[in-house]
C-alpha cells in the first residue's frame, strides 16, 4: 500500500477553507497582554533582532504562538545555556507546580531552584476533586492569587479543564503535559534537534506510537510553524480536531503532514525517529532499522524510563541517541519560558539561525 499523502493541490484547496478567527480585543491583565490572538501568515518571521514580548502569556497550546514567538523561547534557552553562570533571574517569584509525575518533579524542581524562585507542589488529584465542587475559572483565579506562575504537568488532567482553569487564572499558566498536549517537552526537543543539526526548517520527523499520544498531537500543532515535516505511523485514528488543525497548518506553512501504514516507509530518508508509549508493540526498533534514514539520523523517546529494557544496547549507546540531552534541554526551555512570561529579557547573544540556509 502507498502512504496516504497530503498533496500540495489538496493543501491549497484546504487552505481556502480555513476559518480564520475574528479579531478580538486582547485580554489585558495586570498591564500585560495575555494570549493576544496571533495574526495568520504564510511567512516565517526571520528578521527579528529582539525576542517577542511574551510577558503575561500562557503556554497551554500553540494556537496563539507565532513562529517568532517559538523562536524567541528557543533563543532565550540557547542564551541561558551559553551563559557562564545562571543568575537567579526569578528570585522572589513563587511558582505553583501541579504534577503527578515523580521523575518530572525532579527536573522541574531543579530548574526552578536554578532560577531562584520558590516552589509549591500540588497533586492534580486534589485539583480534580475541587473541579467537582468549584467553577474552574474561579479555581484558576483562586490558585493564581497566591503565586506568580502555575505549571501543569499531568497527562491525566483533562486539557479542556486546563484551558478553563487558565482562562480564570490571573497569572500565566504553563502546560508541561496534559491529557492532550505536551508543549514544554516538545519545545525541549526542538532545542535538542537544533543543537544537533544547526537548523530546524525542512527536518523530517517520523513518529511511531499511539494515535492519541500527546507527542503526536503537539507535533501536529507545533512543527509546521518552524517549517518541519511530520510523518507518522500509528494505531487508531488521531483526534479529529488536532488532525484537522494539522492539515490546515501544513497547508499554511507549506510543510508535510503524512500518515504511513508501515514502519520502513515511515523512516525512509527521515532525520529523526520519535517513539512514545506502545510504539515498541508496533515495531521492535533496532539499529539496523535506521539504514534507510537520513545519514545523520537521530533518535528520541519520551517514555524511555518505562521501556529502556526493550531497546537494544547499541542504539542506547549510539551518538544519535538524543534522549539524555533532551532531558537536560527540557529544563532549559522550561526556564526560558518562565523568564519570558514573567519579565522582559534581552539575550546577550544574537538570534541563532533556526531556519538554516534558505
255-314 pLDDT tens trace: 999 999 998 999 999 999 998 766 656 567 777 777 778 888 898 888 665 554 566 677
Q: Can you tell me the distance from the alpha carbon of 43 to that of 48, in angstroms, rounded to the nearest whole number?
A: 13
Q: Three-class SS of residue 33?
A: strand
Q: Are 221 and 246 in contact (CB under 8 A)?
A: yes
Average pLDDT over residues 93-102: 94
Report the candidate in 229, 249, 197, 191 with the shortest Cα–Cα distance to residue 357.
197
Under the banding of pLDDT at 50, 70 and 90, the label for residue 235 is confident
Q: Are 356 and 198 in contact (CB under 8 A)?
A: yes
Residue 172 · residue 34 · CB < 8 Å: yes
- Examine the pLDDT at 40 and tell me if it is beyond 60: no
For all residues of the chain together, what is the average pLDDT? 83
Q: What is the mean pLDDT of residues 206-215?
A: 92
Average pLDDT over residues 99-125: 91
Query: d(Cα 268, Cα 255) in Å, to the nearest integer?
Result: 17
The pTM is what? 0.83
Cα–Cα distance for residue pair 119/117, rounded to 1 Å: 7
Tell me the mean pLDDT in the region 68-97: 90
Residue 288: per-residue pLDDT = 77
Task: Tell me how crowded residue 8 is: count the other CB atoms within 10 A of its CB.
Answer: 10
Distance from C-alpha of 344 to C-alpha of 236, rounded to nearest angstrom: 44
Q: Give pLDDT tens digits for 145-203.
A: 999 999 999 998 999 999 999 999 999 999 999 999 999 999 999 999 999 999 999 99
**Rounded Cα gap, residues 160 and 137, in angstroms:** 12
pLDDT at 19 over 70: no
**DSSP labels for 309-323?**
GGS-HHHHTSTTB-H
Burial 16-53 (b: 16+ CB within 10 A, else e): eeeeeeeeeeeeeeeebebbbebeeeeebeeeeeebbe
Amino acid at each position: 500500500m502507498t502512504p496516504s499523502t497530503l498533496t500540495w493541490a489538496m493543501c491549497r484547496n484546504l487552505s481556502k477553507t480555513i476559518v480564520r478567527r475574528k479579531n478580538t480585543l486582547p485580554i489585558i491583565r495586570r498591564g500585560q497582554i495575555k494570549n493576544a490572538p496571533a495574526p495568520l501568515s504564510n511567512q516565517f518571521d526571520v528578521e527579528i533582532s529582539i525576542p517577542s514580548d511574551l510577558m503575561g502569556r500562557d503556554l497551554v497550546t500553540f494556537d496563539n504562538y507565532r513562529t517568532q514567538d517559538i523562536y524567541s523561547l528557543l533563543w532565550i534557552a540557547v542564551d541561558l545555556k551559553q551563559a557562564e553562570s545562571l543568575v537567579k533571574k526569578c528570585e522572589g517569584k513563587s511558582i505553583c507546580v501541579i504534577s503527578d509525575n515523580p521523575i518530572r518533579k525532579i527536573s522541574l524542581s531543579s530548574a526552578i531552584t536554578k532560577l531562584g524562585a520558590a516552589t509549591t507542589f500540588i497533586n492534580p488529584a486534589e485539583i480534580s476533586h475541587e473541579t467537582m465542587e468549584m467553577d474552574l475559572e474561579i479555581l484558576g483565579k483562586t490558585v493564581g492569587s497566591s503565586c506568580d506562575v502555575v505549571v501543569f504537568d499531568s497527562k491525566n488532567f483533562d486539557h479542556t479543564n486546563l484551558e478553563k482553569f487558565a482562562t480564570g487564572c490571573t497569572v500565566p499558566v504553563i502546560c508541561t503535559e496534559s491529557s492532550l498536549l505536551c508543549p514544554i517537552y516538545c519545545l525541549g526537543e526542538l532545542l535538542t534537534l537544533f543543537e544537533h543539526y544547526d537548523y530546524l526548517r525542512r527536518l523530517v520527523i517520523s513518529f511511531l506510537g499511539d494515535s492519541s499520544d500527546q507527542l503526536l498531537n503537539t507535533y501536529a500543532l507545533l512543527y509546521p510553524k518552524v517549517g518541519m515535516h511530520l510523518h507518522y505511523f500509528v494505531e487508531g485514528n488521531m483526534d479529529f480536531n488536532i488532525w484537522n488543525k494539522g492539515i490546515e497548518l501544513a497547508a499554511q506553512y507549506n510543510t508535510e503532514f503524512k500518515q504511513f501504514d508501515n514502519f520502513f516507509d515511515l523512516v525512509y530518508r527521515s532525520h529523526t525517529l520519535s517513539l512514545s508509549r506502545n510504539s515498541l508493540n508496533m515495531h521492535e526498533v533496532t539499529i539496523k532499522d535506521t539504514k534507510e534514514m537520513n545519514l545523520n539520523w537521530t533518535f528520541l523517546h519520551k517514555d524511555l524510563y518505562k521501556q529502556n529494557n526493550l531497546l537494544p544496547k547499541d542504539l542506547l549507546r549510539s551518538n544519535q541517541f538524543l534522549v539524555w540531552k533532551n532531558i537536560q534541554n527540557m529544563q532549559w526551555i522550561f526556564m526560558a519560558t518562565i523568564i519570558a512570561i514573567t519579565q522582559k529579557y534581552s539575550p546577550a547573544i544574537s538570534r541563532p539561525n533556526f531556519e538554516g540556509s534558505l
